[in-house]
Amino acid sequence: MATLSDIGVSALINILSAFAFLLAFALLRIQPINDRVYFPKWYINGARTSPRSSRNFVGKFVNLNFKTYFTFLNWMPQAMRMSESEIINHAGLDSAVFLRIYILGLKIFVPIAVIALLLLIPVNVSNGTLSFLKKELVTSEIDKLSISNVRPKSIRFFIHIGLEYLFTFWTCFMLYKEYDYVASMRLNFLASQQRRAEQFTVVVRNVPHISGRSTSDSIDHFFQTNHPDHYLCHQAVYNANKFAKLARKRDRLQNWLDYNQLKFERHPDKRPTSKTGFLGLWGARVDSIEYYKKQIKELDRRMTMERQKIIKDTKSILPVAFVSFKSRWGAAVCAQTQQSKNPTLWLTNWAPEPRDIYWRNLAIPFVSLSIRKLVISLLVFALVFFYMIPIAFVQSLANLEGLERVAPFLRPVIELKFIKSFLQGFLPGLALKIFLYILPTVLMIMSKIEGHIALSTLERKAAAKYYFFMLVNVFLGSIVTGTAFEQLDAFLHQSPTQIPRTIGVSIPMKATFFITYIMIDGWAGIAGEILRLKPLVIFHLKNMFLVKTERDREKAMDPGSVDFPETLPSLQLYFLLGLVYAVVTPILLPFILIFFALAYLVYRHQIINVYNQQYESAAAFWPQVHSRIIASLLISQLLLMGLLSTKKAANSTPLLVILPILTLSFHKYCKNRFEPAFRKYPLEEAKAKDSADQSSESDLKAYLADAYLHPIFQSFEEEQEEMVEVRVDKHQTHIASPPSEPSSTSPSNYVHHPPSPPQYVHRPPSPPQYVYHSSPPHYEYDQSSPAHYVYAAPPSPPRYIYHHHEEH
């Protein structure tokens, strides 16, 4: 059992580690060579340029302005300068609401910590029951500050029960206010958005096969019949996984071609050459530029053939489509109603925004989704119990006194003072952190296998699995296995009737392990997050060995985004620990408060300067956050009831029975009151938006035509000099193509398909295209300071620029 001395060693190691990480970050961020690592968000927004371009040779790598070294901590006030509304405009609602979770943690636990420390610690310390049990149980000084130190049948348990009621009511009050506020933020955010493709589009799955009709004709006929006044067009979905592989290969070849062309421009007297064998180590030496041009030309031919094969082969068309409507109201009615008397056919839901779609899963047959979910559920269940083995090993490190009784031959090594303090105070939390490192990636792969079609949904499902894992293994598993190791000798030498009493006393004793875990994960881990050591090393390695073009440099920058599958469950674990131990061992609360404050500051900086979110879900994850904090309240109440039952507190324990019932009633009320704002779109809001947006049908059709075209098709189009446009009326498809090529039919309603390689033939001019341009960034950087935010003008509304294609 870790002592105060062991906790002190752990605290010293983690405080020094956190300080070293923060100091290293403060110095590294002001160096010009690291600018793209620590400020990639501003590069992506176009509001920052490289400071290396206007400096001398040494100044390109090292900051020679020594005044900035005396203000290297100014990132802290700068991170707090941007208001919440400015963060929403700059980084999106998801990022702003994510930060509110840390604010919610501080609002809940600051008053709880003050009351618990002032009232409960004196009550616990002054009773001294553990002094009579120290020969039977492994205890430490911290346990004397917990409820374990209160004598059985003591009247003091009424104070613990009263505070449990108080803490529950305070937590529910703050949860209600926050849910109300976040729901209002979401509705205001959706109401303030300009015209977006997902506002008019639903995704339709499990389209039935009708004999004599193509999938596209079936979709067109169904929606023309059932939504005649609002149906506009649809985008068929193709199984383009093979085409995607060719597109990735072409991208690599194009990168090599760009590199060799730049190399030739710098040294025009010598054309670059390379060998055609494996990794350029052997084979015939050829002209690199001509070689890659030839390779790209051949690949373009193969891609064109594959594209034509996809379009003509009816088996490539999936029973999935993105259906667009003339109004938001029409889309809302379709997305939120049952379309067929058979509830397994024509399944409709709101389409994710185009960048949120996980295209690969659209090819999964709908009938296999239930089987996939069942298999993954069984695998997650098995994984949870498989991880009990390393968790038990970690607990054996945390409880050396209990282990010595079983393996006395380890005593000479364990009894060395520094080794013992290191093993008990630092190593258990570090070992647990290492064991958990790969788990989020594994759970994300499992969620992808389940078949979800939106990245946001994938991340929420992976977060749910990780939370279940953290609850069972990290929290309950640490208590159970820790108890077994600690009290092993007592279990073997006492009557079975005494075992429940031993477990009840031992539960609060795990606070020492969780304190070490909070310091490693919540202090040093968060400080390591802002340092970005892994992205820093990878960026410079890529810059040295792989970066050949400016496009490579942009990819090497890779700012990433908030890691919701890992961060949200970890956050919810801290809520669980704080609520469980607020009454049991309140000395743990200050460690949690330091975590919430430091993490809020760090993630605020990262969201402003680093992260570039892949998608915007408008805070769709908040109902899960609320539900898991409610679950933490219920767990804390049930554990306190079990703990008091071992203390023979028969007079006071029944008073807790009503508390879980009240908590569940509160949760049900919040679910009915606020959750519909996160699941459905009010028709009233949709109608109001339609009235304010007077767009013509032709403009809307042009805007939605290729909004949900597969991104590899779009990238292929961008590589070409011209675009082939496919138009579909109710009965027939016409493709603008050279006269010598036969016209091919497509099951798409109004879509753009990737063109074949450019040919020098006469083509009729294509009609006008309206291209969406997003508004400029709201905030700009002052180049004179490493991170000074300048507020720019409000964004202009979306503009649609007329593009005219000339004849070839």
What pLDDT, in 10s, does the model give residues 649-667?
Answer: 667 778 888 999 999 999 9
Cα 518 to Cα 90, 162, 434, 804: the distances in Å are 31, 27, 14, 60
Q: Where residue 55 falls among pLDDT bands split at 50, 70, 90?
A: low
Indicate the DSSP class of residue 767: P
Query: Residue 592 is which amino acid?
Result: I
Residue 556 has pLDDT above 80, yes or no: no
Residue 744 has pLDDT above 70, yes or no: no
Buried b (16+ CB within 10 A) or exposed e, 487-514: bbbbeeeeeeeeeebbbbbbbbbbbbbb
Is residue 774 pLDDT above 90, yes or no?
Answer: no
Q: Does the pLDDT of residue 724 top 50, yes or no? A: no
**Average pLDDT taken over every residue of the chain:** 78
Q: Where are the beta strands (DSSP E) in 288-424?
A: 317-325, 347-350
When mean pLDDT is compared across 127-136, 230-239, 684-693, the lowest value belongs to: 127-136
Q: Which two tokens stand for residue 591?
A: 């460690």
Query: DSSP string covering 214-267, please?
Result: -HHHHHHHHHHHHSTTTEEEEEEEE--HHHHHHHHHHHHHHHHHHHHHHHHHH-
Question: Which segments of 672-778 are extended strands (E)?
Answer: 725-728, 733-735, 750-752, 769-773
Q: Is 209 exposed, middle or buried (0-12, 13-18, 19+ CB in 10 A)?
A: exposed
The predicted structure's pLDDT at residue 717: 52
State residue 624's pLDDT score: 95
Listed in sequence order, the residues at least 6 apart from 60 whose beta carbon sits closer than 8 Å to its beta carbon are 32, 33, 52
Instruction: Give the DSSP H/E element, type plus range, for residue 701.
Output: helix 697-704
- Helix or strand or coil: residue 689? helix
**Which residues pair with residue 323 across a beta bridge?**
202, 234
Rounded mean pLDDT, 153-159: 85
Please report which confidence band the pLDDT of residue 384 belongs to, taking 50, 70 and 90 as the band edges: confident
- Token pair listed for 20: 């070293």
422-456 per-position pLDDT tens digit: 565 566 666 677 777 888 889 999 999 999 999 99
Q: Could you give the CA distance from residue 135 to residue 506 in angstroms, rounded to a whole number?
A: 14
**Alpha helices, H only, 470-563:** 478-486, 488-492, 499-506, 511-517, 525-531, 533-545, 550-557
Q: Which of 722, 732, 729 is nearest to 769 (CA)?
A: 722
Cα distances (angstroms) measured from residue 472 to each of 391, 445, 467, 519: 11, 20, 9, 21
pLDDT of residue 140: 60
Determine what percent of the chain is predicted with pLDDT higher than 90: 31
Residues 317 and 238: beta-carbon distance below 8 Å: yes
- Pick from 397, 170, 217, 400: nearest CA to 314: 217
Q: Is 188 helix (H, G, I), strand (E, B) or coil?
A: helix
Q: Which pair of tokens denotes residue 256?
A: 């090599």
Buried b (16+ CB within 10 A) or exposed e, 112-131: bbebbeebbbebbeebebbe
The more confidently predicted of residues 708 and 653 is 708
Confidence at residue 348, expressed as pLDDT on a 0 to 100 scale? 93
pLDDT of residue 805: 38
Calculate mean pLDDT across residues 744-768: 35
Residue 772 per-residue DSSP state: E
**Which pTM was predicted?**
0.78
